[in-house]
Amino acid sequence: MSREQRGPNEKLGAVLALAGISNAGLARRVNDLGAQRGLTLRYDKTSVARWVSKGMVPQGAAPHLIAAAIGQKLGRPVPLHEIGLADADPAPEVGLAFPRDVGQAVRSATELYRLDLAGRRAGSGGIWQSLAGSFAVSAYATPASRWLITPADSSVAREVNPADGSGAPLKVGHSDVQKLREAAEDARRWDSKYGGGDWRSSMVPECLRVEAAPLLLGSYSDDVGRSLFGAAAELTRLAGWMAFDTGQQEAAQRYYIQALRLARAAADVPLGGYVLASMSLQATYRGFGDEGVDLAQAALERNRGLATARTLSFFRLVEARAHARAGDAQAAGAALKSAESWLERSRPGDSDPTWLGFYSYDRFAADAAECYRDLKAPRQVRRFTEQALSRPTEEFVRSHGLRLVVSAVAELESGNLDAACEQGVRAVEVAGRISSARTTEYVKDLLHRLEPYGDEPRVVELRERARPLLMTTA
């Protein structure tokens, strides 16, 4: 449906011409973006002609999908006012800003926390559904560059004035911060074991709104404030990671940007690097290998001489993932070699951050296997996958499932169909125990690779076993 707008929408027509998109092409892109978020849209070239020549304004999520579709072609975010749709139903650009001022940074983060809860209450995806397809890797450019230039604020002390009508100010102490850190640690364990969509993991946004936001808006010394911003950054990054794991890429992007800004206020350079590494993994997963390399290298650059050997190893590993996705075998191999070297230098007594507890040689081997999968080197995939699967993984169930799929792909590319299906069955069993859209996507990719063998009994069996999993995510 559309509503009338006075006169032709010349702005939309001009931007379409600039992007080189036809009416039929825009309609197809908008429908595809909608389908990615479960929306059934049937726009055609006539619909687009009405938007341009008659100034009709489509309702619901369509204006934002139009902006996203054009933005993907232009390679940059496209605001609604640029295409003459500024008076469409608003979807706030909350969470995309990286303010220079600490006070503005607090407002930006707490606005995002409130927005997520509003989306959950809406019952149908809320604001995140209206922002379908709005992930734009270019939105990471300003946060990354500002963080590189100034990785710490000069002071974060905050005094709330009771005269401003907010009531008695909340005085924040280290015990309040410790509760946030404990919440983050609990959530990390649940996420690894049950996936980002598990109901326990989904309590993180609620914790941000109910617990973290009032503390950030309270009064605190510079010392307490640094610690508070660090704890809030960890929780916010974790919320982003969970959104990423459940396929909510637009939500994840906003959480990551705010987490990086909070890490800067905390003057925690390794944590900021961890957020950048998370951004890199998301960009790489979405197919932006070159941008993933930039983000991983930004994480590494500021941490030289600051982070522990194991931390630097992880950043180099993330860089290798991006190089591999970009198809640069030489650069990927060099980054993997560096990552392994840093990991060998790490010692039990090193002051590694608590959020790096997941990273061991098993994780290195698992990611190395994915690098070689992207580089189409099945022998190397098999070698590293065997190492990654060599230990029981009760704590990291999702990772175990992902590794099984990668192993299945390697067996298939080596011509071992039976072994591929055997690993695939094990992966499906693991995927059925967790709530992870990312794991399900890996399974779907495996099934797609098996299509040429669709009549083989083992393949038919695997497809049947996977059917309930795929139906729950349809």
Q: Supply the pLDDT for residue 123.
A: 36
Residue 130 has pLDDT above 60, yes or no: no
pLDDT band at 119 (very low <50, low <70, confident <90, very high): very low
* Helix (H), strand (E) at residue 57: strand 57-58
Q: What average pLDDT does the structure give for the chain? A: 86
* Range ranked top by mean pLDDT from 56-65, 331-340, 398-407: 331-340
Handedness of CA 115, 116, 119, 120 (dihedral sign): negative
Helix, strand, coil: what percent of the chain each, to 5?
Answer: 70, 0, 30
Residue of 248, 352, 369 whose CA lies nearest to 309: 352
Q: Supply the pLDDT for residue 168.
A: 58
CA dihedral 173→177→182→183, nearest 10 degrees, is 120
Alpha-carbon Rg for the chain in angstroms: 23
For every residue of 286-352, DSSP letters joined together read TT-HHHHHHHHHHHHHTTTTTS-HHHHHHHHHHHHHHHHHTT-HHHHHHHHHHHHHHHHH--TTS--
Q: Supply the pLDDT for residue 393.
A: 63
Joined tokens for residue 102: 């600490």
Residue of 176, 76, 90 whose CA lies nearest to 130: 90
Give alpha helix (H) positions in 172-308. 174-194, 203-207, 213-216, 222-245, 249-266, 269-285, 289-301
Please report, rounded to a whole number, the percentage of residues in the chain having pLDDT higher than 70: 86
Residue 360 has pLDDT above 80, yes or no: yes
Q: From CA 463, how far away is CA 43, in angstroms rounded?
A: 33
Q: Supply the pLDDT for residue 120.
A: 43
Q: What is the pLDDT of residues 171-210, one digit of tens each?
A: 999 999 999 999 988 888 877 766 655 545 567 888 998 8
Q: What is the pLDDT of residues 204-235, one digit of tens each?
A: 888 998 899 999 999 999 999 999 999 999 99
Q: From CA 268, how far away is CA 180, in angstroms rounded?
A: 16
Residue of 418, 400, 315 whose CA lies nearest to 362: 400
- The C-alpha angle 435, 284, 317, rounded to 5 degrees, equals 95
Q: What is the pLDDT of residues 237-257, one digit of tens each?
A: 999 998 888 888 888 999 999
